[in-house]
């Protein structure tokens, strides 16, 4: 099943969506006992969706066509958790780019997962503009990524049981200001400008896809830049969940972006950074795609 957050005239609506029939069903119409907050906040609804068996009636569906799809998770319980250099070819291109303050070409491929975060203020819609702001606009880069949405929470989750905790998957573009990432050594500032995490278009539940074989594509103005498969992840999803939950309690609605493959802008010589008017499209098989225009916002 697919779940989305929709904005209508009265606010946000957490909904079951069926793109094939172009319909959606507000969750509170399918789950009469859903708490009020969960009817507008998908992260709050996840514990109920894990338990429920939803049976939407086609005649009750509302036309999806004209509605405004938002990021499915608008405000995750924690920062968005991200993984650095989790595809071998990307780790090498990053190390050679001169923008990696964390390692040298000799130790480009990490031996343990590199975890960092982006604040929820980066979250942006699947078709919203990526804002270019003075001072943060000189080295803006794209990163298409598969993101995990946690279902059942927990601490100390083993890799063997990790997949029981996954609710589903969505797409994120981990947009990055490379100059800040390089200058400040620690990655947080370069990853955190407002609006630098387009997400969506919906969450696909874990039963509908094989996380070990999903293809990622990123296009800039129609030119294919990234083309990879999740089977090439250095640290797979069970290992990432084990690593993060060894330290902190994960809760329903947490988002883990699993890392980006080869083909980002700094992989080119000279680097090909995003500029005003560029259209960035991130697509993952089994989920769909997000498409965002880079737009000057100051
Ligand atoms: Mg990334």
Spacing, Cα 258 to ligand 1 middle (Å): 7
Spacing, Cα 182 to ligand 1 middle (Å): 14
Spacing, Cα 172 to ligand 1 middle (Å): 9
Helices first, then strands: H and E counts in the chain = 6, 19
Spacing, Cα 8 to ligand 1 middle (Å): 31
Residue-level pLDDT at 10: 86
- Tell me the pLDDT of the chain (298 aa) as tens digits: 999 999 988 899 999 999 999 999 999 999 989 999 999 999 999 999 998 889 899 999 999 887 799 999 999 999 999 999 999 988 888 888 988 887 777 788 999 999 999 999 999 999 999 999 999 999 999 999 999 999 999 999 999 999 999 999 999 999 999 999 999 988 999 999 999 999 999 999 999 999 999 999 999 999 999 999 999 999 999 999 999 999 999 999 999 999 999 999 999 999 999 999 999 999 999 999 999 999 999 8
Spacing, Cα 26 to ligand 1 middle (Å): 32
Spacing, Cα 298 to ligand 1 middle (Å): 25
For 55-118, give the secondary structure using H, E and C: CCCHHHCEECCCCEEECCCCCCCCCEEEEECCEHHHHHHHHHHCCCCCCCHHHCCCCCCEEEEE
Helix (H) or strand (E) holding 150: strand 144-150
Model-wide pTM > 0.75:
yes
Helix (H) or strand (E) holding 241: helix 237-245
Spacing, Cα 1 to ligand 1 middle (Å): 26
And the tokens for 62?
């509302």
Say which residue the tokens 């894990």 belong to: 50
Burial readout 201-214 (b: 16 or more C-beta within 10 A, e: otherwise) = bbbbbbeebebeeb
Residue-level pLDDT at 103: 78
Spacing, Cα 55 to ligand 1 middle (Å): 36
Residue-level pLDDT at 108: 86
Spacing, Cα 247 to ligand 1 middle (Å): 21
Residue-level pLDDT at 291: 98
Residue-level pLDDT at 8: 87
Spacing, Cα 21 to ligand 1 middle (Å): 33
Alpha-carbon gap, residue 251 to 248, rounded angstroms: 9
Spacing, Cα 117 to ligand 1 middle (Å): 10
Angle at 259 between CA 291 and CA 7, to 5 degrees: 35
Residue-level pLDDT at 74: 97
Enumerate residues with CB within 5 Å of ligand 1 (an ion): 143, 174, 260
Alpha-carbon gap, residue 13 to 19, rounded angstroms: 16
Spacing, Cα 271 to ligand 1 middle (Å): 17
Spacing, Cα 236 to ligand 1 middle (Å): 15
Spacing, Cα 64 to ligand 1 middle (Å): 30
Residue-level pLDDT at 260: 97
């Amino acid at each position: 099943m697919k779940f989305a957050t929709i904005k209508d005239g009265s606010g946000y609506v957490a909904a079951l969506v069926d793109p094939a029939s172009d319909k959606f069903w507000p969750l509170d119409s399918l789950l009469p006992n859903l708490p009020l907050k969960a009817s507008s906040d998908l992260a709050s609804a996840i514990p109920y969706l894990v338990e429920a068996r939803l049976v939407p009636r086609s005649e009750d569906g509302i036309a999806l066509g004209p509605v405004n799809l938002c990021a499915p998770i608008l405000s995750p319980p924690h920062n968005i958790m991200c993984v650095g250099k989790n595809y071998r070819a990307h780790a090498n291109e990053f190390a050679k780019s001169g923008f990696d303050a964390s390692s040298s070409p000799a130790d480009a491929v990490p031996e343990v997962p590199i975890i960092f975060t982006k604040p929820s203020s980066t979250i942006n819609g699947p078709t919203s503009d990526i804002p270019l702001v003075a001072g943060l606009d000189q080295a803006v880069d794209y990163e298409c990524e598969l993101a995990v949405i946690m279902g059942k929470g927990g601490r100390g989750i083993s890799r063997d049981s990790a997949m029981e905790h996954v609710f589903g998957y969505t797409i994120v573009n981990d947009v990055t200001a490379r100059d800040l990432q390089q200058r400040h050594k620690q990655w947080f500032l370069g990853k955190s400008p407002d609006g630098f995490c387009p997400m969506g278009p919906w969450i696909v539940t874990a039963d509908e896809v094989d996380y070990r074989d999903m293809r990622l594509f990123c296009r800039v103005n129609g030119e294919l830049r990234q083309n990879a498969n999740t089977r090439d992840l250095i640290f797979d999803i069970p290992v990432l969940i084990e690593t993060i939950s060894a330290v902190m309690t994960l809760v329903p609605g947490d988002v883990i972006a699993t890392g980006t493959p080869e083909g980002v802008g700094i992989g080119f010589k000279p680097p090909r950074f995003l500029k005003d008017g560029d259209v960035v499209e991130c697509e993952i098989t089994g989920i769909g795609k997000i498409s965002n225009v880079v737009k000057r916002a100051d």
